[in-house]
Amino acid sequence: MITPPEHTERIETRLGQLHTRVIGTGRTTVLWSSMFVDSHTWDPTLTLLLDGSREPRRLVLVDPPGLGLSQPLRRRSSIAEAAGAARDLLKALDAGRVDWVGNAFGGHVGYELARDPSLLRSFVAISSPTEPIPPHLRRKIGVLKPLLRIAGPVGPVREAIVSAMLTEESASNSHLRQVVLDSLGRPTRSSMAFALRSFILDRSDVTGHLADIRIPSLFVASDDRGDWSPADAQRAAALTPDATAVTIERARTLIPLEQPAALATSIVNFWAGVPATNSPV
């Protein structure tokens, strides 16, 4: 299948305009990207998702607040406020309940939205830890933050980000690496620093809220991310009433970029079991 033509839309939210790419027609499916990168990390999965789905889909790919081509962040924010911006986005899309697919940051936003069954029909969280970042990563990121604000994603900052996003095998692939580097080059230094503080360092523990997610959910772990292991995903799924967990091998954080075929298969198989109704549960 050939990927249908896309068009771009800028949608006004409480955290500024979000840049979106819209592909296809049918059931609205929102794909929200990871921290540091933008919607192009989904590109290898798009045809696979459209071709594999049992129903036509409109894919809405989102550059998160302050990242990609979305409007720069000019102040400290929070994942809760990013979820508020996502609510603004969903209202503007006027599509009823949507299927939400979030990678890392996108999954963290999804944990907030998925507790409201009037918003989402289903929820996929990819490489999205439910707990705050561990102390050793907090210290490491704390050292990088001032460098990021002053110099941008260059030198050791760039390499630390690439290492956090990709396995060594993936980072050695010039195309995959360039997708990440191109994403890093789009936001302003200040916006990236605000996003880092707001959506990583200030990330809160949502484990206690998992029982409130009562829509079909899929938690996707990789085999090479220490703070979101397969066991972590299984524990989170056990706490969520209608959730399952799967593991994708040979990937770290950017599973849609590193292992698109395996991820797309897991997602479309999950979608096949989601009730077709668009009415709130």
- The confidence score (pLDDT) of residue 237 equals 98
Confidence tier at 134 by pLDDT (50, 70, 90)? confident
| pLDDT range class, residue 208, cuts 50, 70, 90 | very high
Residue 113 burial (CB count, 10 A):
23
Q: What is the C-alpha to C-alpha distance for residues 52 and 218, in angstroms, rounded to an integer?
A: 17
**Confidence grade of residue 227 (pLDDT, cut at 50, 70, 90):** confident
Q: Which position has the token pair 């889909």?
A: 57
Length of the chain: 281
Q: Classify residue 251 as exposed, middle or buried by CB count within 10 Å of its CB (0-12, 13-18, 19+).
A: buried
48: left (phi over 0), alpha (psi -120 to 50) or beta: alpha
Top-confidence residue, 152 or 91: 91
pLDDT of 281 over the 50 cut: no
List, in order of start, the domains of the chain with CATH numbers: 6-272 (3.40.50.1820)
Q: What is the mean pLDDT of the chain?
A: 93
Q: pLDDT (tens digit, 9 = 90+) per residue, 26-43?
A: 999 999 999 999 999 999
pLDDT score recorded for residue 2: 67
Cα 215-218-222 angle, rounded to 5 deg: 160
Look up residue 157 and give its two tokens.
Answer: 């900052």
Q: What would the pLDDT profile of 90-103 be if each residue is shown by its tens digit? A: 999 999 999 999 99
Per-residue HEC secondary structure of the chain comes to CCCCCEEEEEECCCCCCEEEEEECCCEEEEEECCCCCCHHHHHHHHHHHHHHCCCCEEEEEECCCCCCCCCCCCCCCCHHHHHHHHHHHHHHHCCCCEEEEEECHHHHHHHHHCCCCCCEEEEEEECCCCCCCCHHHHHHHHHHHHHHHHHCCCHHHHHHHHHHHCCHHHHCCHHHHHHHHHHHCCCCHHHHHHHHHHHHHCCCCCHHHHHHCCCCEEEEEECCCCCCCHHHHHHHHHHCCCEEEEEECCCCCCHHHHCHHHHHHHHHHHHHCCCCCCCCC
